[in-house]
């Protein structure tokens, strides 16, 4: 961030004389007090900018393309939607032991009503949404997903992402690419078939997942998500190396919400692999400094500013759909902000105002490093704006 520099005008003639008289005269005690106050205020602004904004890494350098310092600087009650996520179904062909269900939305299987899904996308598109993610459950089991993707593409959404377990026939993914998908996040929790079966809770899929990751990486932007539990944490370096060799753009390591330990052994990941993947490097650098992927400190911002221009929607088969501030909130049992409708933006803003994230166990223990950093940056920018005014 650069602050505007006030240019000193070049003074001539009478103006120069007046100016010299002014600077040479004795300052009154009140003026001296004011000088000290001004100095202290300037120092506070400098400290907040210098320590919290200028010295921390720009958000755009950490690899999550939806996050940037520009977004942190501009997010407000009137800024357009930057990112959204729709959980189209709770159904899945895997049974990963760590996976949470859809208990939070009163769902049997969590298939969002197609009409409500389209209506939700309509609200977001009207609010100039830039990035969307479809997830679940396994979103590729939702038959009309390609139609939703097409609506996004026609609505001008730039980045259309799918989170998938990667196990479906390649033609399913090709159809989604043809409809407009340009980002896949595929889960990969093991580097061999027998362990892959254990982590997926079903047999015989791991080879297909690896093959699909490789093929998709040749066609579009692909990241791999590795969820670590006590079962696979010792294989972390091998799984990362395996994913790297499949040609992926980036690798997201994360402890399962139930496990939530510092992934110390990631410091053994070879440097050339870290250099090839910014998100992975960001996480490993943080962990090396003792900062967990999940969790907030008392000194972190206690407001969830990201919910001003970000939202997660999930629906049930009774025709209801709910919106949440983030996917962790949805999966870990934070109550929805409200029901999908024209008033969502207003309700999100009111929620941001009143919700103290540090007082909430789920946020305090599970919020992700990059989101904590984003919220901290927003707060720093807001503080520095207030000080300057
Ligand atoms: C619920 S899945 C849905 C998309 C798809 N089925 C998949 O597995 O990628 C979305 C992401 O959440 C992760 N996930 C599921 N349960 C989790 C948990 N308890 N802790 C951390 N991540 C979890 C998955 O590994 C996956 O990367
Ligand atoms: S594949 Fe995804 S949705 Fe399915 S059980 Fe695993 S984490 Fe959950
Ligand atoms: S977990 Fe983080 S992003 Fe989610 S609601 Fe809490 S503070 Fe916001």
pLDDT at res. 6: 38
User: What does the mean pLDDT of the chain come to?
Assistant: 89
For residue 362, which atom of ligand 3 is closest to its CA? 1
pLDDT at 266 over 90: yes
Distance CA 167, CA 212 (A): 8
Percent of the chain with pLDDT over 90: 76
What pLDDT score was predicted for residue 8?
Answer: 44
Return the number of other C-beta atoms located less than 10 Å from residue 377's C-beta: 25
Nearest residue (by CA) to ligand 3, atom 3, is 326
- pLDDT score recorded for residue 103: 86
Q: Quote the tokens at residue 274.
A: 């870290």
Tell me the per-residue pLDDT of 215-233, one tens digit each, with 9 for 90 and over.
Answer: 999 999 999 999 999 999 9
**CA dist., res. 208 & res. 193, Å (int):** 10
User: Whose alpha carbon is nearest atom 7 of ligand 2?
Assistant: 99
Alpha-carbon torsion 193, 194, 200, 201, what sign?
A: positive
Q: Which residue has the higher pLDDT, 116 or 31?
A: 116
Mean pLDDT across 74-103? 94
| Whether residue 276 has pLDDT greater than 80 | yes
- Ligand 1: distance of its center to the CA of 99 in Å? 6
Residue 339 Cα to ligand 1 middle (Å): 24
115-124, 161-170, 259-268, 323-332: range with lowest mean pLDDT = 259-268
Q: Which of 98, 99, 133 to mutate to test the pocket of ligand 2 (most atoms within 8 A of CB)?
A: 99
- For 22, counting Cβ atoms within 10 Å of its Cβ (0-12 exposed, 13-18 middle, 19+ buried), the class is exposed
Confidence band (pLDDT; 50, 70, 90) for 2? very low
For residue 338, count other CB atoms closer than 10 A to its CB: 16
Give the number of the atom of ligand 3 that is nearest the alpha carbon of residue 366: 1
| Closest approach atom of ligand 2 to CA 167 | 1
**pLDDT tens for residues 27-83?**
677 766 665 665 555 545 544 444 444 346 789 999 999 999 999 999 998 999 999
Instruction: Report residue 17's pLDDT band, with 50, 70 and 90 as the boundaries.
Output: low
- pLDDT at residue 50 in the model: 41
Q: Which residues line ligand 2 (CB under 6 A)?
A: 92, 94-96, 99, 136-138, 165, 187
- What is the predicted pLDDT for the residue at 13? 64
Q: What is the pLDDT of residue 95?
A: 95
pLDDT digits 0-9 by tens, 158-173: 999 999 999 999 999 9
CB-based contacts of 25, cutoff 8 Å, min separation 6: none
Share of the chain above pLDDT 70, in %: 85
User: Which-ligand-closest: CA of 212?
Assistant: 1
247 or 58, higher pLDDT: 247
- pLDDT surpassing 60 at residue 275: yes
Q: Which residue has the tokens 């949404």?
A: 129
pLDDT value for 39: 52
Q: Which of 6-15, 159-168, 237-246 has the lowest mean pLDDT?
A: 6-15
Give the residue ranges of DSSP H helices in 54-188: 69-74, 114-126, 145-154, 170-179
Q: What are 189-212's pLDDT values in tens digits?
A: 999 999 999 999 999 999 999 999
pLDDT tens digits, one per residue of 355-370: 999 999 999 999 999 9
pLDDT at 104: 86
Residue-range domain boundaries for the chain:
5-54
Q: Among 371, 373, 374, 377, which residue has the most ligand 3 atoms within 8 Å of its CB, making it the best to mutate? A: 371
Cβ-Cβ contacts under 8 Å for 260 (sequence gap 6 or more): 292, 294, 295, 365, 366
């Amino acid at each position: 961030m650069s602050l505007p520099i006030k240019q000193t005008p070049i003074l001539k003639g009478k103006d120069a004389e007046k100016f010299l008289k002014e600077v040479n005269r004795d300052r009154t005690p009140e003026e001296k007090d004011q000088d000290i106050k001004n100095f202290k205020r300037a120092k506070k602004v400098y400290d907040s900018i210098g320590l919290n904004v200028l010295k921390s890494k720009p958000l755009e350098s950490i690899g999550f393309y939806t996050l940037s310092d520009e977004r942190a600087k501009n997010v407000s009650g009137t800024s357009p939607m930057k990112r959204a996520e729709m959980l189209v179904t709770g159904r899945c062909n895997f049974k990963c032991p760590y996976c949470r269900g859809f208990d939070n939305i009163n769902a049997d299987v969590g298939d969002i009503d197609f009409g409500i899904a389209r209506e939700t996308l309509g609200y977001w598109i009207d609010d100039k949404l830039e990035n969307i993610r479809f997830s679940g459950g396994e979103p590729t089991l939702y038959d009309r997903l390609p139609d939703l993707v097409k609506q996004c593409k026609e609505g001008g959404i730039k980045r259309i992402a799918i989170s998938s377990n990667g196990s479906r026939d390649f033609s399913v993914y090709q159809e989604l690419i043809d409809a407009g998908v340009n980002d896949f996040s595929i889960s990969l929790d093991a580097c061999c078939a027998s362990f892959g079966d254990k982590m997926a809770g079903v047999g015989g899929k791991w080879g297909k997942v690896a093959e699909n990751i490789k093929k998709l990486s040749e066609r579009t932007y692909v990241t791999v998500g590795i969820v670590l539990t006590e079962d696979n944490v010792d294989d972390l370096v091998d799984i990362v190396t395996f994913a790297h060799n499949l040609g992926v753009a980036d690798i997201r390591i994360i402890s399962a919400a139930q496990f939530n330990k510092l992934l110390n052994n990631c410091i053994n990941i070879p440097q050339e692999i870290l250099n090839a993947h910014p998100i992975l490097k960001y996480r490993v650098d943080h962990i090396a400094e003792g900062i967990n992927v999940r969790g907030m400190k008392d000194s972190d911002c206690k407001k969830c500013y990201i919910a001003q221009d970000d939202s997660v929607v999930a629906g049930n088969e009774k025709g209801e759909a709910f919106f949440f501030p983030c996917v962790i909130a949805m999966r870990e049992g934070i109550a929805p902000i409200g029901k999908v409708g024209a008033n969502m933006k207003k309700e999100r803003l009111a929620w941001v105002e009143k919700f103290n994230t540090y007082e909430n166990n789920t946020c305090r223990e599970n919020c992700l490093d990059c989101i904590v950093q984003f919220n901290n940056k927003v707060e720093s920018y807001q503080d520095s704006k207030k000080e300057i005014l």
